[in-house]
Amino acid sequence: MPNERILVVDDEEDILELVRYNLVKEGYQVSGTLTGEDALQKARSKAFDLIVLDLMLPGIDGLEVTKKLKGSHKTENTPIVMLTAKGEEADIVTGLELGADDYITKPFSPRVLVARVRAALRRRSAPPADETAVIQIRDLEIHPGRRSVLVSGQPVDLTYTEFQVLYILAKRPGWVFTRSQIVDAVRGDDYPVTDRSVDVQIVGLRKKLGESSKYIETVRGVGYRFKEKNE
């Protein structure tokens, strides 16, 4: 059973209790609070392994809480899973770009909540990625050192930017990347990339990868993610 410490922040007591109940049932140690101000105080005074954070809070909202937590040396590495009402795509993008790890839209399934929390904690505890290691998911192989991609043993001819986009997503499976984050990671003096061209690169990648294109998922209104191996 897990024993990680989780802080849940939501100004709706019924949702706070629902989240708390389901996480405690899974063996997590859970603290709760109704305000952003109290969340900051708790996070600064006690070490948490993860924070489930509502965006729409009175006073200091969830985005400002995220910004302050990620801007502090003490809490910058604490994973944040955002809770947000449907339709707040701009806030989701902003939160992810501020450093949040994932998001869940309301209304939500408790099973999905637990799965997302578990995945975020797993990513946090994973050893640093070996930048030279081959990434293999079933029939797809990505060789960073050789900058080559194989599907069912057959080479796939990718452009520099297509390879970079694929590698960025694949080396952090389950992680949601906004278009801007992909642009920042790919951009180079000789390879300009824009938000809109990210979509073009993804279309090209999917065509070339064939059946393996199913591992690249579109996160509507936000960006893209690569499926985790156990999905």
Query: Model confidence over 99-136: pLDDT tens digits?
Result: 898 999 888 999 999 999 998 898 777 665 566 788 88
Strand partners, 201: none
Phi, psi at 138, each rounded to 5°: 50, -115
Domain topology for 5-125: Rossmann fold (3.40.50)
Q: How is residue 214 written in tokens?
A: 């199913």
The ranges of the chain with pLDDT < 50 are 189
Domain map of the chain by residue range?
A: 5-125, 135-226
Say how far apart CA 128 and CA 151 lie, in whole Å: 26
Report pTM.
0.75
3-state secondary structure the chain: CCCCEEEEECCCHHHHHHHHHHHHHCCCEEEEECCHHHHHHHHHHCCCCEEEEECCCCCCCHHHHHHHHHCCCCCCCCCEEEEEECCCHHHHHHHHHHCCCEEEEECCCHHHHHHHHHHHHHHHHCCCCCCCCCEEECCEEEECCCCEEEECCEEECCCHHHHHHHHHHHCCCCCCEEHHHHHHHHCECCECCCHHHHHHHHHHHHHHHHHHHHHEEEECCCEEEECCCCC
- Contact (CB, 8 A) for 81 and 114: no
CA 171 – CA 133 distance, rounded (Å): 10
Query: Do residues 228 and 126 make contact, with C-beta atoms less than 8 angstroms apart?
Result: no
**CATH code for residues 135-226:** 1.10.10.10
